[in-house]
């Protein structure tokens, strides 16, 4: 499904006319290029003879069409090429001559061994934007480390956060959290490079490392008092780490509620017949006081 142009009624999008050669597999890269396709880009997915491994991750109604694969690969055309074979690699290079973007999620050294380094691609098509998404920055000390979603969640301390917020032990977020956060960053990076090309006339190589993307995402809240040196408080955001920050049990199920500002708390206290508490209980009085007593307040909500 694409974006509909409501003036013409045709499937169209802001990126119509942009051609993307997609060498990515699994979740991160396919999720990013799917979004580019949703925006109207012509995405050509290059798969090895055995196909993207996520084709075979069930459940599925049809062989080779697993549910995760389907949900990361709409709006794409598909070509099978064995890039270890020189003739088939030449076919890829022919596609790159007229493409706008090439995406990949293997290590740059592996791309170079295939004869697909940025220098090679740039010489072939100087306007080509080449975007690589992989575990760790190419210039960093961990560039050779393997990277999958669980490993990057661990490196970014996500399991520790889950334990701090009430899990009986460290655990991963039950979704491909690192892949999808990085995938969104990959979309932004590609679009920024395409815009820059309109200004300069040249493509460029862009890297989108999973570790750096997820760490920035997590530390936006949880760097806490260590934002400053020397630190003024521990790491972590008290409200988000509260064990009582969860859906509340009721007689007929659970309810999701968030009282955040003064108006929310006043309305909630009025609803439960405790309006006077806002003025008489200092824990409710200001945002600063509520954050300082967040566990007690969430426990109070849970009992009402």
> How far, in Å, CA of 148 to CA of 154, rounded?
10
CA proximity to 131, closest of 194, 200, 53 = 194
- Judge whether 172 and 150 are in contact, CB under 8 Å: yes
Q: Supply the residues annotated as catalytic.
A: 179
Cα gap 88→102, rounded to integer Å: 16
């Amino acid at each position: 499904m694409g974006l509909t142009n409501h003036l013409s009624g045709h499937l169209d999008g802001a990126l119509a006319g942009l051609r993307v050669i997609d060498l990515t597999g699994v979740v991160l890269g396919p999720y990013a290029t799917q979004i580019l396709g949703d925006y109207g880009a012509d995405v050509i997915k290059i798969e090895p003879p055995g196909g993207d491994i996520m084709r075979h991750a069930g459940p599925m109604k049809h062989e080779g069409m697993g549910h995760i694969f389907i949900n990361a690969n709409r709006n794409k055309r598909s070509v099978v090429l064995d890039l270890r074979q020189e003739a088939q690699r030449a076919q890829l290079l022919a596609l790159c001559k007229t493409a706008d973007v090439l995406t990949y999620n293997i290590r740059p050294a592996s791309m170079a061994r295939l004869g697909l380094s940025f220098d090679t691609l740039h010489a072939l098509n100087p306007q080509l934007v080449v975007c690589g998404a992989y575990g760790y920055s190419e210039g960093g000390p961990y560039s050779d480390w393997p990277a999958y979603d669980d490993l990057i969640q661990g490196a970014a301390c996500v399991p520790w956060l889950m334990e701090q917020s009430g899990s009986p032990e460290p655990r991963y977020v039950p979704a491909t959290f690192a892949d999808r956060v990085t995938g969104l960053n990959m979309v932004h990076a590609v679009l920024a490079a395409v815009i820059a090309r309109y200004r300069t006339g040249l493509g460029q190589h862009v890297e989108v490392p999973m570790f750096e993307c997820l760490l920035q995402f997590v530390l936006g809240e949880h760097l806490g008092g260590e934002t400053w040196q020397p630190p003024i408080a521990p790491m972590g955001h008290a409200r988000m780490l509260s064990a009582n920050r969860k859906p509340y049990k009721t007689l007929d199920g659970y309810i999701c509620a968030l009282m955040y500002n003064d108006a929310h708390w006043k309305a909630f206290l009025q609803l439960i017949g405790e309006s006077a508490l806002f003025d008489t209980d200092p824990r409710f009085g200001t945002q600063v006081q509520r954050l300082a007593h967040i566990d007690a307040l969430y426990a109070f909500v849970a009992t009402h």
